Amino acid sequence: MHKKRLQSLLKKLESPEPSTRRRAAETLSDSDERAVYPLIKALRDESPGVQEAAMHSLVTIGGEVTAYMVQPLLRDEPSIRNMALIILKELGMVKLLLPLLKDKDDDIRKFAVDLLSEIGDKGGCRYLEEMIHDPNPNVRAACMTSIGKLKCRGLTDAVINALDDEEWVIFSAVDALGELGDSSAVEPLSRLIKRDSEPLRYAAIEALGKIGGNEAEGTLVGFIENSSGTIRTAAIRSLLSTGPGRKIKGISGDLLTMLSSNDMEEVKLALRGISSIGLKEATPNLLDRGGAMDPLNPGGAEMIPLFRECLASFGCTGELLEALSSDRLKYRGKVLAIEVAGECSCREAAPVLKELINSSARDIRRAGVRALGRLQIGEGSELFLSKTNDPDGHVREAAITALGRLRYGSAFDALLELLHAEPYINVKERIVEALLSIDEMKFISLIDGYESSVREMAARYSNNFDTLIRLSTDGNPSVRVSSLLALGRFSDKRAVEIIKPMVKDPSSDVRKAVAQSIEETGCCKVALRSLLSDEDMWVRFHALKALPDTDGSGDSALIISGLRDRAVPVVLKAIELISGFPPDEAKAALKELTGHPDEVVKEKVMEVLEQS
Amino acid sequence: MTETKLNDKTFRELRDFIYEKSGIYVSDTKKYLIENRLHRRLLEKKVNSYEDYLYLIKYSGNGGELTSLLDAVTTNETYFYREPLHFEVIVNSIIPYLIKNGLKRIKIWSSACSTGEEPYTLAMLLQEKYPLKNLEFEIYGSDISNNVLATARKGVYSSYSVRNLPGYLLKKHFTTTNGSYLLSPEIKGMVRLLNINLVNPGEMVRVRGMDLVLCRNVLIYFDEKAKKRSVSHIYDALKPGGYLLVGAAESLHNVTRVFKPSVVNKTIVYKKV
Amino acid sequence: MKILVVDDDGVTRKLLGLYLKGTGYEVEFAENGLDALEKLGIEDINIVLTDLNMPYMDGIEFTRNMKIEPLYKSIPVLMVTTESDDEEKQRAFEAGADGYLVKPVTAETINATIRELLKRIFSHGGEINV
């Protein structure tokens, strides 16, 4: 940073306006050591906005000078100390913390131990080993916690030895053993369960759950059988967290209690337990609790599928059917029940579902129609047809999908009608798919009466060769594109005849599709040549991409010529393909590119050269 | 089109790209979400693989595809009068406090407005409670996705979206056709809609001097760094003494110290000190 | 009787929580002063146990904030920290702390100190919601 600019910013740092000081502090992040002292002063600014900006800038400037100058702040007043800790953590320089580990002040040593684990550098483990026998118990306890956080496996034995210390330290040691996960800790932890101290018993139980394995599980099962109350719940939690499906007797009541917890981790464990013992009697509880989750929140969105999975593991049960018919369930719980019924192909649910699809709640109608669609029941054309006029797009979509899948001939005309009026693209697609599925020939014979977007969908979803041939000559380029891409799936010679002349198509999208098609069919290398010098970069891109799959030699030269393309993506693609050449060939080809003006190209060349 | 799968390496590259441009961090567990949402985009652009799609995003000039990518990744459903308690606190506690301090023009910003329900709800409630001629509300709504802003501009909503509104507001400000609810031009006119990326300092400079900012249910999609950045930008957008409201399950207590929390009616309200 | 335990270290929160729950108190947790201010507004807290060194808002600043707030100023604040020097203790009491314990603490010490604080409130005719 230029001296003048620095001076101006430092002056602004003293402005009476807090927003000016803050902006100055922020901008000083572009500076260097010269700004460190003023920024440290700014940590004491009366405005928290300025303090924070100064803190972030010190981190951005970084470096040893900053770390050295921030360290003394650890002896300052509390708010300054704590900002210094955040800065030192972000700076992440383990070596500079070493003198602090030997400081006279207990709290400074503790800060240093905490920082070692927060920085996250496993190199800190050996320094932690030296602190295990520190004279101060808070430092020792912090040491245990840090060993656990850093996962210093080699120190497991040392931590086990700390189980002889005072309770405060033992507690941290136990927690650390859980984090370290070493099974040699199981035996000493099992002894702790029998000790007098409740907190230590809890901690040991939790640690056993984290370590897992047969021995730990055995200890926990034994404990559960002889305990009650909250410590029993803790042991059950621990056991369930060791892994899926361990069958334990007599915990149904506990699982239901855990299910109503506000702690989502506990609920997840309860679900696991309920699935593993097949507790279908829990169905009403599951529907209530699962139905109480909000799908619009990430937390809810994560949990709801877990509830669904658990319920579905029971299959189609009497409890589920009862829930579907009952008025008691709130609507999201009902949606959940309906989804499960569909997933389990629960035919007995059909009568109830037929009623539910008339609900005023759109989510219930959606789920109901989808579920009915999965049931594949004999009659139903009328039912689904009536839902193709539902005000909700998803309901319409589900109904149409069902009609197509079940191939209801009687629905054909009604679907054709819908095609004109339907506003949503994805629903339109389902209509086209359904029409193709019910009677492709009839639909295609009428296709010219529809707009290009419909014809394009037909090309995309058809599996009929003749349909695709016909659409490949459509007046609209996007229809031609989709036909070409679909034709690429057929290794039929007739496809080749259609594809070849299209290299001269006026639309670059079509020419690009030709290249993509050739990539699929593996034919027509000759056609590729003209595409390789196409005026559109994406056509050249895909033509290059199609080269290695076609037969014939002389490909390498063509690919190498791509390196001289004027468009970066084409060059990158060529490099990518060359990386698959034998190492010597690749090196020779790429040598000339090391001086390429584009940074990304240079980087990629280096990457490939290093690998070979 | 053959079966396209999103492999881990490509997913990471996509995720990094999205994060760099928007601050939104797509966690591993959400990989399927990206796959699903982008699948349609691949179809539309006639691209065979996610790898080729990455090329497209990075090299199709003027960042056009980026807009579509962000649209695909960020669209989140919302509804009118979501979290009624928050609105109550705004209308009955925050606004009166601002008025008491002598303000005649109050600037409010809904910073993740999606399809517009949040700022429009504010407009309706404020117009109801404060119809005075000498008190002016300037309401802004912004989002990173053009798609949702377009929907907000149209002002057409489903019955699902309006289900939480008190009947009298529904009747007063909407007309119904064919099961859709059309918002009145008067309310639409009270809200100015903008496309703003919360982590982009250049864009955030456009919003300044706010008295109240709502940032509900969007920070949860950010990682720690992006959260700090966007909250810092929001701080700069607020006047001293201005207020910030986040979602019911969210908190700033391990993000920043520049806002002082107070609790009104079980709702956490942050004040720019 | 609900106690708010404020500490940035998860293990400490767990241990203090177990000590208190073992006596029969209900316990809520917070990670730092800011978190604590939020929890105070939402939960009905009777006593606060707070650490001193915490990021974003330390125990001293938090106590000061509590004591100027009419709704919270009568809630007793017990500082539980590793800091043993008199200067810190002085600072804490000046900020309004009602008690000060140096870690490590035992279950007995914590519970005895809390009983003392409660006695003080009762004898001054204060109200407690149990």
Mean pLDDT of A57-74: 95
Let me know how long chain C is: 130
The answer to whether B236 touches B260, Cβ cutoff 8 Å, is no
Residues B161 and A2: their CA atoms lie apart, in Å, by 55
Chain B residues close to A49, C-beta within 8 Å: 235, 258, 272-273
Residue B1's pLDDT is what?
42
Chain A residues close to B59, C-beta within 8 Å: 567-569
Residue A599's pLDDT is what?
87
Chain A residues close to C52, C-beta within 8 Å: 78
Mean pLDDT of C47-74: 95
Range with lowest mean pLDDT among A438-452, A572-586, B111-125, B135-149: A572-586
Residue B102's pLDDT is what?
86
Mean pLDDT of C75-83: 96
Chain A: residue nearest B222 by CA? A298
Mean pLDDT of C6-13: 97
Segment B191-249, tens digit of pLDDT: 999 999 999 888 998 899 999 999 998 898 888 899 999 999 999 999 999 999 999 88
Residue A506: pLDDT band by 50, 70, 90 thresholds? very high
Range with lowest mean pLDDT among A246-255, A267-276, B247-256: A246-255
HEC profile for A97-142?
A: HHHHHCCCCHHHHHHHHHHHHHHCCHHHHHHHHHHCCCCCHHHHHH
Q: Which residue has the tokens 């650490």?
A: C51
Range with lowest mean pLDDT among A107-121, A526-540, A553-567, B206-220: A553-567
Residues A207 and A187: their CA atoms lie apart, in Å, by 12
pLDDT of A553 over the 70 cut: no
> Is A48 in contact with B179 (Cβ distance < 8 A)?
no
> Is B268 in contact with C40 (Cβ distance < 8 A)?
no
Residue C125's pLDDT is what?
55
Residue B135's pLDDT is what?
86
Nearest Cβ partner for B263 among C32, C42, C57: C42
Over chain C, what is the mean pLDDT? 92
Mean pLDDT of A189-201: 92
Mean pLDDT of A538-542: 93
Segment A475-494, tens digit of pLDDT: 999 999 999 988 887 767 77
Chains that touch A (3 or more CB pairs under 8 A): B, C
Residues B67 and B146: their CA atoms lie apart, in Å, by 7
Residue B36's pLDDT is what?
81
Going by C-alpha positions, the residue among A94, A159, A156 that lies closest to residue A133 is A159
> Is C34 in contact with B261 (Cβ distance < 8 A)?
yes
Residues A231 and A224: their CA atoms lie apart, in Å, by 9
> Is B266 in contact with C38 (Cβ distance < 8 A)?
no
Residue C124: pLDDT band by 50, 70, 90 thresholds? low
Mean pLDDT of A180-204: 94
CA distance A599 to chain B (A): 14
- A106/C125: higher pLDDT: A106
Residue B83's pLDDT is what?
92
Residue A397's pLDDT is what?
94
Encoded amino acid at A516, one letter:
Q
Nearest Cβ partner for C82 among A79, A110, A172: A110
Residues B53 and B40: their CA atoms lie apart, in Å, by 12
| pTM, full prediction | 0.87
Q: Provide block-wise average pLDDT over 10 residues at a time, chain B (273 residues).
A: 76 90 83 83 85 87 76 80 95 94 93 96 94 87 91 92 93 90 96 94 91 93 91 96 93 95 94 93
The answer to whether A54 touches A87, Cβ cutoff 8 Å, is no
- C71/B74: higher pLDDT: C71
Chains that touch B (3 or more CB pairs under 8 A): A, C
Compute chain B's Rg from CA coordinates.
Answer: 20
CA distance B262 to chain C (A): 7
DSSP A231-265: HHHHHHHHHHHT-TT---TT-HHHHHHHHT-S-HH
Residue A249's pLDDT is what?
80
Residue C129: pLDDT band by 50, 70, 90 thresholds? very low
> Is C41 in contact with B257 (Cβ distance < 8 A)?
no
Segment C14-46, tens digit of pLDDT: 999 999 999 999 999 999 999 999 999 999 999
Residue B171's pLDDT is what?
95
Residues in C 46-105 with any Cβ partner in B closer than 8 A: 55-57
Residues A147 and A151: their CA atoms lie apart, in Å, by 6
Task: Report H helices in A462-507.
Answer: 465-471, 477-487, 493-499
Structure tokens at B209: 């001097």
Handedness of CA C63, C65, C67, C73 (dihedral sign): negative
pLDDT of A596 over the 90 cut: no
Segment A311-343, tens digit of pLDDT: 999 999 999 999 999 988 888 999 999 999 999
Residue C130's pLDDT is what?
36
Chain B residues close to C56, C-beta within 8 Å: 253-254, 256-257
Chain A: residue nearest C22 by CA? A198
Range with lowest mean pLDDT among A295-299, A526-530, B148-152, C91-95: A295-299
pLDDT of A396 over the 50 cut: yes
CA distance C108 to chain B (A): 31
Over chain A, what is the mean pLDDT? 91
Range with lowest mean pLDDT among A143-157, A586-600, C67-81: A586-600
> Is A78 in contact with C52 (Cβ distance < 8 A)?
yes
Chain A residues close to C84, C-beta within 8 Å: 106
Is it true that the peptide bond before A548 is cis, omega within 30 degrees of 0?
Answer: no
Task: Report H helices in chain B.
Answer: 8-22, 31-44, 50-59, 64-74, 84-89, 95-100, 117-129, 146-154, 159-162, 167-173, 185-189, 201-204, 224-237
Residue B68's pLDDT is what?
80
Residue A49: pLDDT band by 50, 70, 90 thresholds? very high
Chain C residues close to A202, C-beta within 8 Å: 18
> C interface mutation test: which of B86, B263, B264, B271 has the most C CBs within 10 A?
B263
Q: Report which listed range, A209-223, A486-500, A587-601, B230-244, is most confident.
A: B230-244
> Is B257 in contact with C35 (Cβ distance < 8 A)?
no
**CB atoms inside a 10 Å sphere around CB B185:** 9
Let me know how long chain A is: 612
Chains that touch C (3 or more CB pairs under 8 A): A, B
Residue C103's pLDDT is what?
96
Q: Could you give the count of Cα atoms lying within 13 Å of B201 in the half-sphere of its Cβ?
A: 7
Interface contact C28, partner B, CB < 8 A: no
Residues A16 and C87: their CA atoms lie apart, in Å, by 32
